Chain A
Amino acid sequence: KQEVTQIPAALSVPEGENLVLNCSFTDSAIYNLQWFRQDPGKGLTSLLLIQSSQREQTSGRLNASLDKSSGRSTLYIAASQPGDSATYLCAASSGGSYIPTFGRGTSLIVHP
């Protein structure tokens, strides 16, 4: 059974820092991996989706990488801003199932 872990659970950084959020998964036979952002009291917003054949995806200041052999994905946020403060979740789909396994998320605070 797939297990997804996100470390750290919480992170506080000053504005302008480049930062990396980590996501690890136990079953390397993943179909895809998706990163989401969740603001307090809101739903999840999709940020990036990496298919199993891809190594990375980029959108603006965000870059997500996928290393299936090591069971890891990272979300890189460049030049962080206070508006980036949110919880970031990753989700891995594996074993031919379209039902992903979610991590518990990393709560990010970017302070001015």
Chain B
Amino acid sequence: DVKVTQSSRYLVKRTGEKVFLECVQDMDHENMFWYRQDPGLGLRLIYFSYDVKMKEKGDIPEGYSVSREKKERFSLILESASTNQTSMYLCASSQSYGYTFGSGTRLTVV
């Protein structure tokens, strides 16, 4: 069964910390995505990548960066975590046959 794996289900970090969220897919998909999901705001695209070492800003990239050194791995980096980055973070990958999502990481910044 194809999978997108997010390394952590729950994370609690302190304000100002550098935070890494990891995502790995085993489907050899070209495209990978990071979203955040907040009540009342729906899914918002942070960054996406259509190839190794390529990245594109989504709708809300401020305060985030990404890294894609290998095809299967796409990392989201919070350079200096802030309380307004408390959210559910969802990773996805896609090819021609639609999206596959990971199980999500609930990040709390205190």
Contacts and interface: CB of A to CB of B under 8 A. Distances in A.
Residue among B6, B97, B99 facing the most chain A CB atoms (10 A cut-off):
B99
A58 to B, nearest CB: 16
A43 interface: yes
A73 to B, nearest CB: 13
Nearest to A6: B42
A46 B100 contact: yes
Contacts of A98: 31, 50, 94
Interface in A68-112: 89, 91, 98-100, 102-105
A21 to B, nearest CB: 16
A100 B99 contact: yes
A47 B47 CA distance: 24
B95 to A, nearest CB: 9
Interface residues of A, number: 19
- The DSSP consensus for interface residues of chain B is strand
B101 A32 contact: no
B98 A49 contact: yes
A44 B94 contact: no
A89 to B, nearest CB: 8
Contact of B101 (A44, A99, A103, A105): A44
Nearest to B4: A43
Given A44-B90, A102-B42, A105-B42, A32 B104 contact: no
A34 B103 CA distance: 18
Interface of A: 32, 34, 36, 41-46, 49, 89, 91, 98-100, 102-105
